[in-house]
Amino acid sequence: MKTDKPMNIAFLSTYPPRECGIASFTQDLVLQLQQFPATVNTRVIAVGSTRIPYDKRVMMELEQNDRKGYAAMARKINLSGIDLLVIEHEYDIYGGIAGEYLMDLVNLLEIPFITTFHTVLALPNERQRKMLHELGEKSEKVITMAQNSVALLTEVYSIDPLKIEVIHYGVPEITMKPREVLKKESGIEGRSIVSTFGLLSPGKGIEFGIEAIARVAQTYPEVLYFIMGQTHPSVMMRSGEIYRKSLEAKVNELGINGNVRFINKYLTKREIIRCLKMSDVYMTPYLKNDQAVSGTLAYAAGYGRVIVSTPFSYAKEMLSGGRGLLTEFGDAESIADQINYVLSHPDEKSIMEQKTLAVGENMMWHIIAKKYKELFSNILKHRNEAQVIA
C-alpha cells in the first residue's frame, strides 16, 4: 500500500503488566512492528482493569466487565483516526458469557478490523460457536496460528475460507550461549534437563510430567525437571495455590526432590529462553485434545528443542515430520518412555533438534511481524480501491 503516512493500527487486547499469554504476544508484536515506523504506527486499546499502570503505547482502556463501555469504545475508535483494528480474541478476556460483550463493540465499528483467534475449540457450545462465526463474518480477515485450525473454522464455525490467514505464533529473538555453557554457569553441568513453562493450572497435566520424571530418574538419576511459572491469576482467585501444593506434595511422595525444581514467578522472556536453551527436552503434558495453539510449545520449537508432548492438535502439527515425540494423554509411563528414548539416542536427538529448528527459525518475530504488516497493507489497499470504484 503506497501512502504518504504510516498505517494507524490499533490492537484490542490484554497488555502488560497484566500477566497473560495474549498480553505478552500483543506486546511482542507491537514492539516488532515499531521496526517499520515509515509504514506502521501501532497503538493498544488495553482490555482489563483501568487500575493497571500501562505504558505509553496504550491509547485507551476498556474495562473488561463493563458492558456499556464496549459500545462507548466503538464510538471512540471510529473518531480516533485508526485505520485498522486488530482484535486479539480469547473467550475469557472479554466480558459476558463466551465474551459476548465484544459484539457490542464490533457491531458499531465503522472501520475495518481483523481478528486473531487464540483458541479454536473443536467442540464449542452454541454461544462459543456463534461468537467466532459472527466475528469471522464481520472481520476483513481472521488469523489462526496453526494450519489444523483452518478446517475447524470453515466446517464448525462456517467462516469463509478466503478470509482465513495462517500466521505462526511469534518467538522472541534472544542470543544465548550454548547449552553446555549455560548449564555450567547454572551449576547443573552434566545433568539432563527437562522443562515446562507457563502459568500453572490443572489443565497443564504437570502431575503426569512429575510422575514421568520419577520413572526417568530410575534410568537417568541426573535428570532435572524445571517447572517454570507462577500459578495462573484466575486459578489463584478461585483456589489459591492448591494445585501447586498438590504438585509439590507429589514430588515429596515420589522422593524426587533432587530431580524437580519449581520456579514460582512470572518469568521474563530472557529467563524463559535461557532455560529453554539449557533444556535437552521440552515437555508439554497438557490434558486437552483441542488446544489450537501453544505459545510455550512455539517458543521451544523456535529454539530447536526436542519436544515431548501429549497429542493435542497444535502439538501434532508442530511435531510432524520427526520434529518431536508424541505421548498418550494422562499417561506418565508413555511420557517417560519418550523422554528415555531421547536421552538414550543422542544422534537422533540432534537430528530432531535440527528439524525443529528449521521450522522454528521461520517463527522469529521479525519474520512474523513482516507478515502482519503485509496483511494490514493489503487489506487497506483493497479497501481504498473499492471505495474509489464505488
Residue 318 domain-assigned (yes or no): yes
Same domain for 213 and 199?
yes
Whole-angstrom distance, CA of residue 306 vs CA of residue 290: 22
Query: Can you count the helices (H) and strands (E) in the chain?
Result: 15, 13
How far, in Å, are 212, 233, 242, 351, 370 from residue 229 at the CA level?
19, 11, 15, 29, 30
Secondary structure (3-state) at 86: strand
Q: What is the CATH number of the domain that holds 292?
A: 3.40.50.2000
Whole-angstrom distance, CA of residue 217 vs CA of residue 335: 13
Residue 345 domain-assigned (yes or no): yes
Secondary structure (3-state) at 195: strand
Same domain for 163 and 202?
no
The pLDDT value recorded for residue 136 is: 96
Q: Phi first, then psi: give them for residue 212, nearest 5 degrees.
A: -65, -40
Same domain for 128 and 189?
no
Query: Which amino acid appears at position 294 of this protein?
Result: S
Same domain for 147 and 199?
no
Residue 224 domain-assigned (yes or no): yes
CA atoms lying within 13 Å on the CB side of residue 230: 12
The pLDDT value recorded for residue 267 is: 87
Same domain for 153 and 187?
no
| Burial (0-12, 13-18, 19+ Cβ within 10 Å), 332 | buried
Residue 314 domain-assigned (yes or no): yes
**How many structural domains compose the chain?**
2
Same domain for 222 and 346?
yes
pTM of the shown model: 0.88
Whole-angstrom distance, CA of residue 46 vs CA of residue 25: 13
The pLDDT value recorded for residue 387 is: 63
Same domain for 288 and 342?
yes
Residue 315 domain-assigned (yes or no): yes
Same domain for 357 and 370?
no
Residue 2 domain-assigned (yes or no): no
Same domain for 214 and 261?
yes
| Burial (0-12, 13-18, 19+ Cβ within 10 Å), 257 | exposed
Whole-angstrom distance, CA of residue 173 vs CA of residue 368: 12
Question: pLDDT by residue (tens digit) across 129-168?
Answer: 999 999 999 999 999 999 989 999 999 999 999 999 999 9
Same domain for 224 and 122?
no
The pLDDT value recorded for residue 235 is: 86
Same domain for 143 and 37?
yes
N- to C-terminal Cα distance for the chain? 19
Query: Which amino acid appears at position 109 of this protein?
Result: L
Q: Per DSSP, which regions of 185-323 are E strands?
A: 193-197, 224-228, 260-263, 281-284, 306-309
The pLDDT value recorded for residue 325 is: 97
Residue-number span of the structural domain to which 310 is assigned: 179-363
Residues linked to residue 311 through DSSP beta bridges, in sequence order: none
Write out the chain's pLDDT in tens, 390 residues: 444 689 999 999 999 998 888 999 999 999 999 999 889 999 999 998 767 889 899 999 999 999 999 999 999 999 999 999 999 999 989 999 999 999 999 999 999 999 999 989 989 999 999 999 999 999 999 999 999 899 999 999 999 999 999 999 999 999 999 999 999 999 999 999 999 998 888 889 999 999 999 999 999 999 999 999 999 888 888 898 999 999 999 999 999 999 999 999 888 889 999 999 999 999 999 998 877 788 899 999 999 999 999 999 899 999 999 999 999 999 999 999 999 999 999 999 999 999 999 999 999 999 999 999 999 999 998 877 666 565
Residue 1 domain-assigned (yes or no): no
Name the DSSP letter for residue 92. G
Same domain for 292 and 311?
yes
Cβ neighbours, 10 Å, residue 345: 12
Distant-in-sequence contacts of 349-353, Cβ < 8 A, 24+ apart: 349/280, 349/306, 351/322, 352/306, 352/322, 352/323, 352/324, 352/325, 353/304, 353/305, 353/306
β-strand 84-89 against 58-63: which pairing, if any?
unpaired
Residue 77 domain-assigned (yes or no): yes
